[in-house]
Structure 1
Amino acid sequence: MTYVLGKQTLLLKIALRIFSIGLLPLLTANQALGAERIKFNYGLLEESIPINSLETYARTGKIDDELAVYRQDVGKKQLTQLRQALTTPIPLNEVEVSQFLYTPIGEILLKKLGKVIQTESNLSGFYAIRAALILSAAEPNNFTLLNVLRKFPASAISINLNQSFQIVNALQDLVNQTQNVIALINQQSQEKVSKTPTVNSVPVLDLGKSGSFHFFKQTIRLDDVSRNRIFPADIYLPVAQTPRTIIVISHGLGSDRTSFAYLAEHLASYGFVVAVPEHPGSDSKQLQALLAGTADRVTNPREFIDRPLDIKYLLDELTRLSKSDPTFKGRLNLEQVGVVGQSFGGYTALALAGAKINFEQLKTDCASLEDTLNISLLLQCLAVNLPHVKYKLFDARVKAIIAIDPIDSSIFGKASLSQIKIPVMIVSGSYDTIAPALPEQIQPFTWLATPNKYLVVINGGTHFSTIAESPNATVPVPTQLIGSSTALARRYVKALSVPFFETYVAEQPSYLPSLSADYVNTISQQPLPLSLIKSLASEQLEQAFK
């Protein structure tokens, strides 16, 4: 880093850099700060910015003398983002905020923030941040970052620049490593593209657009008495003369069965029976219950067991219905099943494929959660609280899986992922900040030992790029987290899932050429260019890290 010395102190330049390269987005993403002044401490040096200066700028766009010292080094775009961050309403109330902040995951995030955001006496800001958030949320239509600043229960907030440097440097290392590895994957994908068009491939447009099958949707209610578990599932049934293979779609945490309805309809149009269960305890209703005060956690650790068991029970129930219910009789091939899951659903798919919960890996990785930049570990590490027994989550009926943005690095680790024997496709967004691409998808891909494996990277894709907006959404996902061109990302999922499941579940080898870099290069578009590789050595990762 280069700091320009002038009439401002060295400390002001350090503070400026911390804001400009990443600390401000970190703080605003968590809606936490406080007080009349923001102080920057770096050893014996200290400088500060009045909250009034920020408020004046947020309300009027005017930059006073106190804030002007930053303008020369901060771009216009960053200042505009700052103003928006200060004044954008947060659609939560005090009950919803307090419910989350008192969960284990909420407290871990507060402890992490408390190392950087401190009180005037340089003590952890844990309690002050929580109080400021709850007090601000209690004011109708005034829950903004600017009001959170005013509600901080002290005359000033102290930013620990030593801790800030550590976070920013660690974040920059992760970003650099990820960029290097993504560049390597993109290069390998391009090198695999043939100089001549692929012969005998399925037409590209036919895979991106709907197929020729008509279908209808039937919703069923499942009641697993042994687990006291009741949940619905939407079944998309193509109109066909012969039994059709089955694809199950598992949604992510806080989502529901509508979030991948677009994919269910697309696969059904190609003749697949598609079953989409809703996982109680980790769906949108669970998030609603948490925010309403009727639940005390984001999800129960038991969901790591119940989610795969939901799908096993669903397949068992479909087997029964195929013998007794005229709607399903003669329509289902229950020996040939594929599973696609996103995020927590990606975990679910991998568990059904044969990966076992790795308690030893969890014990190692979850010892220092306050220092991690991998938010998905906060969820994975809930599994530490499960009884340490061997759970039977594998299902032999599942012949192939697609895991989109899966969480798997610690819950499974290398020892478990290497045991999977069926075909696996991992889809990763390079801009995923929830389940970061490098630790959660790219490195785990190298641990897979199955001969038929694929890594697809959506360059510029986020954790939410492939998810359709649910009508049951409790809290809207911020636009900056969703990213752009979601329709294109969903088209990629549709266009790749068809040849993958046709090849490895329906056993139609004519689709295999469409699982290639040639095909991916053909459908790839800006602003989300696509890459596909079938192998990546750990040695290549290590070289990219350097």
Structure 2
Amino acid sequence: MLSLPGLPWPTRALILSLATLAAAALPAAAAEEVVLDFGPFSRTLPVPSLQKFAATGELDEPLSTFLRRLSPEQRETFRVALTANRAVDLIPVSQWFYDSMGEQTLLFVGQFTQTSARLNGQRALRAAIIQAVAEDQDISLLEVIERFPTEAMRLDLVQVLQRANQVIQEVEVTQKVVAVIKQQSLADAAQPPPLDLAALPDLTQPGPYGSRQISLVLQDRARNRIYPAELVVPQNLAAVPGPIPVVVLSHGLGDSPASFLDIAAHVASHGFVVALPEHIGSNFTLQQAMLTGLSRESFKAEEFLDRPLDVSFLLDELARMNTSTFDGRLNLDAVTVVGHSLGGYTALAVGGGTIDFERLAQRCNPTANIVADAALVLECRALDLLDNPPAVQRLGQEGVEDPRVKLVMAFTPVSNLFGPSGIRRLQLPVMIFGGEFDILAPVVPQQVAAFSWLTGPERYLYLAENTSHSPNFTRLINNLLSMDEYFEQSIEEALVMTRGVNKSLIVAFSQVYGAGRLEYSPFLTAAYVEAISTNDRPLHLVRTLPPQLEPLLESPSF
């Protein structure tokens, strides 16, 4: 019996409807066995045997034969894996699995988790998961097996091993790439003249001008698009000498400008006007609407076009405000665009990058391993635009480059969809930042590969060891590896340090390329990066890739 105490009636009604739909997808009898297929060979594990083992730890045939090679500790690990419960809210999980990106994820898993008839198990998995969660708002592997809506759940072990080997190969390649880049960065840092770090200002500290915030609502009638933006400006504009450079910060998928207001305030205190558009087709509000049943999707494919156009229209608005609000002092001819994740795509696109739709279609094939590169799930959404020829023409041929942009800084960007031909169109200074442990936008296919395609003379690749896609994902990965309280505290301290470094890099790059202040050039060197690097979060910088990395990047996956 499904019990939902304390929930408002609309939410309860939606949950009950979802549970009913899931139940309707199930036949009278759910899975009776799990069949392990390995080429022409197979092994059958009856579900009652799994249930008995999970409940009591006792083994009967054929499960005892299957597990006999495992040690008692390994068998207990398997039992825990079967029964471990995780609390899950029904509405978010069901909404995600009906979202196009969630469907693509299930389609991938369904390739090797098949029905009795050896068909893709996407729909069967979705029904089993929703039904399991609907029972008591939590889920375990055994519950999914029990509710799998065909006589057998078939696991294609050949495909499982192939996917696992691909992931292992990418991990090994990443380790080699990190080692080579680290070696090159250290060698570059050792070149004369030596860096006098003590003589440089500490850009991780706030600047002298303070900051204040201005909220805007922009109306782009040409696109029928209304969206908010935040301006963070120096507290005392009159005290800032000369023309005031402009920095734009573009947030990632499911995020908002609020996540970057601390960075914006820091940069503004150093004498910049910082603008943060909210991309309404891929922001936190839309994601929450999807997860609560108020929207059918968390991301609109049109965002690939709208995001860079949001930046350009915001710059148009700043041009209109320049006289009345800024006494004509804004320098809109040398704008820096900074982006994180999908915001990194935005920055690269507005800087001149174009999407290679033909190459993307080849990468987005049914066998693509989204575990090895999870960003593919998002990138492949661009193919939804093929029904919109003007958008494809604009993004794939004409481009959305804004000539006012003179510097792009992309932090853990989603960038492989540009391909070599699209990235090569960027001829302005480009900085790309990647994290070694990034499982959402992996550093080799998404950042190192993109950097290798750049042909402009001013290019920078930063690689952070022991760092993931975002602070929250870095915390998650480190919690999986260690639960030691002291270790967790050191991680938090390192993350604070990393954010401080990112702030200083944005200030330094924007000073050099946005304000023309070459005295900040020492901050853009491997010597500076290695000098401020820590044991917890080593950071490295290269301006070109060492030639020994070329064979590693020739894989079709990259």
Same topology, TM > 0.5: yes
| SS in structure 2 of the partner of residue 495 of structure 1 | helix
Match of 1:27 in 2: none
Match of 1:453 in 2: 459
Shift of 1:157: 2.5
CA distance in structure 1 between the aligned counterparts of 2:268 and 2:80, rounded to whole angstroms:
43
TM-score by length of 2: 0.80
Match of 1:262 in 2: 262
Match of 1:137 in 2: 133
Match of 2:407 in 1: 400
CA distance in structure 2 between the aligned counterparts of 1:57 and 1:273, rounded to whole angstroms:
63
Match of 1:421 in 2: 427
Aligned pair partner of 2:237 in 230, 237, 240: 240
Query: Cα deviation per residue 1:170-202 (whole Å; 9 max; x = unaligned)?
Result: 222222222211211111111112277734667
Q: Is the 8 A contact 2:216 2:228 kept in 1?
A: yes
Equivalences for residues 445-524 of structure 1 within 5 A: 445-465=451-471, 484-485=491-492, 486-524=495-533
The answer to whether 1:346 aligns with 2:352 is: no
The answer to whether 1:101 aligns with 2:97 is: yes
Which deviates further from its counterpart, 355-364 or 162-171?
Answer: 355-364
The number of equivalent residue pairs is 500
Match of 1:87 in 2: 85
Equivalences for residues 365-380 of structure 1 within 5 A: 365-368=363-366, 370-372=368-370, 373-380=372-379
Distance 1:467-1:233 versus aligned 2 partners, 3 A rule: farther
Shift of 1:538: 6.1
- The one-letter amino acid paired with 2:362 is T
Match of 2:449 in 1: 443
The answer to whether 1:222 aligns with 2:218 is: yes
Q: Is the 8 A contact 2:351 2:407 kept in 1?
A: yes
Match of 1:359 in 2: 357
Distance 1:81-1:522 versus aligned 2 partners, 3 A rule: farther
CA distance in structure 2 between the aligned counterparts of 1:521 and 1:124, rounded to whole angstroms:
49
Aligned pair partner of 1:231 in 227, 235, 255: 227
- The one-letter amino acid paired with 1:240 is L
Shift of 1:324: 2.6
Shift of 1:466: 7.9
Q: Is the 8 A contact 2:407 2:428 kept in 1?
A: yes
Match of 2:114 in 1: 118
Aligned pair partner of 2:393 in 386, 389, 392: 389
- The one-letter amino acid paired with 1:382 is R
Distance 1:397-1:53 versus aligned 2 partners, 3 A rule: farther
Which deviates further from its counterpart, 229-238 or 192-201?
Answer: 192-201
Distance 1:450-1:146 versus aligned 2 partners, 3 A rule: same
CA distance in structure 1 between the aligned counterparts of 2:140 and 2:291, rounded to whole angstroms:
18
TM-score by length of 1: 0.82
CA distance in structure 1 between the aligned counterparts of 2:55 and 2:458, rounded to whole angstroms:
57
Q: Is the 8 A contact 1:489 1:528 kept in 2?
A: yes
Aligned Cα root-mean-square deviation (Å): 3.4
Aligned pair partner of 1:211 in 193, 207, 213: 207
CA distance in structure 1 between the aligned counterparts of 2:68 and 2:339, rounded to whole angstroms:
49
The answer to whether 1:318 aligns with 2:318 is: yes
Shift of 1:284: 0.9
Q: Which ranges of structure 1 fall in alignment gaps of 5 or more residues? A: 1-33, 470-475
CA distance in structure 1 between the aligned counterparts of 2:521 and 2:431, rounded to whole angstroms:
13
Distance 1:363-1:118 versus aligned 2 partners, 3 A rule: closer
Shift of 1:260: 1.7
Q: Is the 8 A contact 2:339 2:346 kept in 1?
A: yes
CA distance in structure 2 between the aligned counterparts of 1:87 and 1:144, rounded to whole angstroms:
5
CA distance in structure 2 between the aligned counterparts of 1:467 and 1:271, rounded to whole angstroms:
32
- The one-letter amino acid paired with 2:270 is Y
Q: Is the 8 A contact 1:181 1:545 kept in 2?
A: no
Which deviates further from its counterpart, 526-535 or 65-74?
Answer: 65-74
Which deviates further from its counterpart, 307-316 or 155-164?
Answer: 155-164
Equivalences for residues 61-80 of structure 1 within 5 A: 69=68, 72=71
Match of 1:528 in 2: 537
Aligned pair partner of 1:188 in 181, 184, 187: 184
CA distance in structure 2 between the aligned counterparts of 1:202 and 1:400, rounded to whole angstroms:
28
- The one-letter amino acid paired with 2:467 is G
Q: Is the 8 A contact 2:308 2:349 kept in 1?
A: yes
Shift of 1:503: 1.2
Percent identical residues: 35
Q: Is the 8 A contact 1:466 1:490 kept in 2?
A: no
| SS in structure 2 of the partner of residue 356 of structure 1 | coil
| SS in structure 2 of the partner of residue 235 of structure 1 | strand
Distance 1:237-1:54 versus aligned 2 partners, 3 A rule: farther
Shift of 1:70: 6.7
Query: Cα deviation per residue 1:211-252 (whole Å; 9 max; x = unaligned)?
Result: 222111111111111111111111111123244211110011
CA distance in structure 2 between the aligned counterparts of 1:195 and 1:545, rounded to whole angstroms:
30
Distance 1:203-1:258 versus aligned 2 partners, 3 A rule: farther
Equivalences for residues 302-313 of structure 1 within 5 A: 302-313=302-313
Which deviates further from its counterpart, 359-368 or 394-403?
Answer: 359-368
Shift of 1:402: 0.7
Match of 1:289 in 2: 289
| SS in structure 2 of the partner of residue 460 of structure 1 | coil
Match of 2:172 in 1: 176
CA distance in structure 2 between the aligned counterparts of 1:454 and 1:504, rounded to whole angstroms:
13
Q: Is the 8 A contact 2:184 2:546 kept in 1?
A: no
